[in-house]
Structures are given as C-alpha cells and as structure tokens.
Amino acid sequence: MHHASEPDSPAPTEPFESLDPAARLAAVLGALAPWPEDGSRPDGPVAVDATDRLLLDEAAPLLADAGPDDVVVIGDRFGALTLGALTLGPSRVRSFTDAVTAEAALDHHLSADLADLVRGGRREVHLVRADLYTEASHLLAGARLVLLQLPPSLAELTEIAEAVARYAADDVVVLAGGRVKHMTRSMNEVLAASFTDVRATLARQKSRALVATGVRPEARDAAPAFPARAVLRDRELLAAAAPSGGTSPADVTVAAHGGVFAGTTLDLGTRFLLTTAEKWPGADRVHDAVDLGSGSGLLATVLALRYPDARVVGTDRSAAAVASTQATAEANGVGGRVVALRGDAGEDLEPASADLILLNPPFHDRTAVRTDAAHRMFRAAGRALRQGGELWCVFNTALHYREALTRAAGPTVHVAQNPKFTVTRSRRR
C-alpha cells in the first residue's frame, strides 16, 4: 500500500477506539496517497487537498449528528471525503464518483489498515456505491447532507444539482467545494436554479465552499435536462455510418450526460478520424469493434451502423461516458449490439478480442494534469487486437505518437494529416 511521503500526523500508537474522531480523521487523511498515481510528479495531484479539508471541517457538526441514510459524497478524488465522512459521521455513507480510477483509489484506501482507523470503536462501517446516471434515486433518496467536489463543467454541476433537488430530503444541505481559481459565479447560479439559498464560505488556502439549501419546489418535479440530446447531420459522420454498399442514415442522434467530453457536439479530432472511414477494414473482417475512451459513444454508434453484423464495445473510465454511450447507441437503434463498459484505459478489454479499435485518446486529465492514459490505452489496444486487427487513432500532430503506437500495438502508418491532427493505423502482427 502506498503512503504519503510525509503524513500530516504520525500513525497512532493508541488503540483506534480510544482516539477521538478528529484524531482518527487526521490519521486517515495523513495516510492517503494519490492512487494509482505514484505521487512522484511535481505537478501531480495531492491525495487530500485544501477543498477536502475545508468541506470536512464545514461538515463536521452535521456529520456528528447524521444518521445512516443521511450522507452522500459525490466527486471524491482519492477517498478523502468519503473516508472522512465515515470517520466523523454515521456508519453508512453513500458515494458516487465519475471516474473508475477514483473508485479504485477509495477501495484501495479502505483496505485493512485504514478501515480500522475509519471504524474507530464501531463494529462496521458501510460504503454504499450507486451510479448518479442510472441509480440516482438509490444514491440520493432522502439525503440530508451532500458533500461535493465541484466538477469542472457547469453541465455536470447542473446534472448533479438537479438530481439532488429531485431526490434528496427537503432540508438537505449541499456543501460544494473547489479551488477558488476554478470557481465562477455561474456555479452559484447553477446551484441557485435548484436551491433557494446559496452562499459561499470564506476562502481558506485557496479553496472555498458553496452551501446550498432549500430545495426549490419546481426543481423537485422538473424534467431532467440530461442526458441532453442532439440530432447531428455532419457529412463525415453520416458517411462513416453507412454500411458497405448501403446508404447513410439521415442523421445520428447523440445523447450526453453533463460530464461528457464534447457534450452533444462532434469533436474536431473525432470528425477527422471519421474522414478516414473508407480505409477502415471491410465488413468481412470486422466481427468485434471497440470505441476506446468512448465519451458520448458517437464512434461506437458509427461502428455499429457501419458494420451491421459486428458486436461493439465502448469503454471509458467515466460513468457519464458509459451511460451516454449506451443512450446514444439506443437512440440510433443499435443499443442491442453496443455494450458500454467502465474501465481504466481499456484494461477491461479481453485479450485478442477485437478486429478494429477506434481511439481519440485524452490528452488532459480532468484537472488539466497530463496523464499517461493515452500510452496505457495504446498498450491495452495492442493486447485487445486479434492478429491482423487494426487500431485507428487520431491525435494532435504535435504529440508524435507513431513510435509509441508501433511499440504498443504494431507497425503504424500515418494515414491522414491536416494542420492540427494526425490519423494513424496500427496493425497487430
């Protein structure tokens, strides 16, 4: 297990039961590490940021009085908020976080050593996971305290606020925190659309929390704004979706939850990848196809439309992307042949199971920190391709991925280039 190099407080030597919750919290937070990151990069994320600490301090009196059905944590990064809430509060906390990697971090931290600390004198603590997009009522029904790391996009915040207003108790308190530099007035406005009172706490160590209370009656019954839908008629999209010898669909519908990359629009890189569709393998060679890092799932749907006999997997680490990929496929009548999976960098793909993989890899983490996700996706694609199978990848030309793709997936050629993007084809030997 990884430990932070300099824990905030020394590991306790007294039995955990005799430590008060604040002391246990300090020990728990001190033991968290960014995971699976190794924490060695100077620009890397920290396991517990000032926002986590501010939110837990603001929440402490409420947590102390909370019951087992009261507390929900959304958007936890490495487990600090969830483990903190369990340490200071009730023995059961509900939790949702978009990225499967954040979930893995929480699981990792709830492993034996920390579980004892979190539990203190209690017999058991329970972490209940539920998906905001497919199980919102399970996640939020009757909640009285929601701790939230503010998401980067207003659309994602809107979707969260609407779900809380729809399902939580009337007296719910939402504590939503972020780094001051990432916070805007529009976030207050988004919360104010669902709650009657929104105020900000004082900033502390460059973090601030918004406190939203008073569910608006009209927000309880409002029709959900997400997944948002749009009908796309982009030429490249329709042409790529045409099966060999068949005609293009008149349009393609995209469904996108708030947190999804590019929302309901067609990303420029994705559009450029679609212009190469004529050169993708023929239908006789494609039985299993993959949209790796599927986002809204437009590529998964194009694959299912273009190859009417193929099975298609869309995989993404984001729960919003997984739900959107499935919804987009269903909206275009191919839901039965598209399976959306949640996994980190394609690690969930079966070895030697795919004939064609399309990839528009991420180049930034949600917090604008560079990641190695693209390289891990190349390796996962290499493993997942059958012999002779092809990985088609689009990326910013400046990234020079050809050698890495060759190493990871097989001999790679540049197929198309415009001033901004390059499309490559890698073929598995």
Binding site for ligand SAM (CB under 6 A): 261-262, 267, 270, 291, 293-296, 298-299, 316-318, 321, 344-345, 360, 362, 373
117-120: long-range contacts (C-beta < 8 A, 24 or more apart)? 117/12, 117/16, 117/24, 117/27, 117/28, 117/31, 117/87, 118/24, 118/28, 118/83, 118/86, 118/87, 119/16, 120/16, 120/17, 120/19, 120/21, 120/24, 120/87
Beta strand 173-179 with 207-215 is antiparallel
Q: How far is the CB of 184 from ligand SAM (least distance, A)?
A: 22
**Among residues 105 and 198, whose Cβ is nearest to ligand SAM?**
105
313 backbone dihedrals φ, ψ, rounded to 5°: -115, 130
Query: What beta strand segments (E) does 137-257 contain?
Result: 145-149, 173-179, 195-200, 207-215, 228-232, 252-256
Q: How far is the CB of 21 from ligand SAM (least distance, A)?
A: 34
Write out the two tokens for 364: 């930034």
**Among residues 194 and 325, whose Cβ is nearest to ligand SAM?**
325
**Among residues 153 and 201, whose Cβ is nearest to ligand SAM?**
153
Q: How far is the CB of 293 from ligand SAM (least distance, A)?
A: 3
Of 245, 357, 247, 271, the C-alpha closest to 310 is 357
Give helix 373-384 / helix 402-409 axis angle, nearest 10°: 40
**Among residues 79 and 293, whose Cβ is nearest to ligand SAM?**
293
Q: How far is the CB of 45 from ligand SAM (least distance, A)?
A: 14
Q: How far is the CB of 371 from ligand SAM (least distance, A)?
A: 7
Residues in the chain: 429
**Among residues 298 and 385, whose Cβ is nearest to ligand SAM?**
298
Q: What angle do CA 129, 134, 140 make, to 5 degrees?
A: 55
Whole-angstrom distance, CA of residue 21 vs CA of residue 215? 31
**Among residues 167 and 395, whose Cβ is nearest to ligand SAM?**
395
Q: How far is the CB of 236 from ligand SAM (least distance, A)?
A: 12
**Among residues 92 and 271, whose Cβ is nearest to ligand SAM?**
271
128 backbone dihedrals φ, ψ, rounded to 5°: -110, 120
Nearest residue to ligand SAM, scored by beta-carbon proximity: 295
Q: How far is the CB of 75 from ligand SAM (least distance, A)?
A: 14
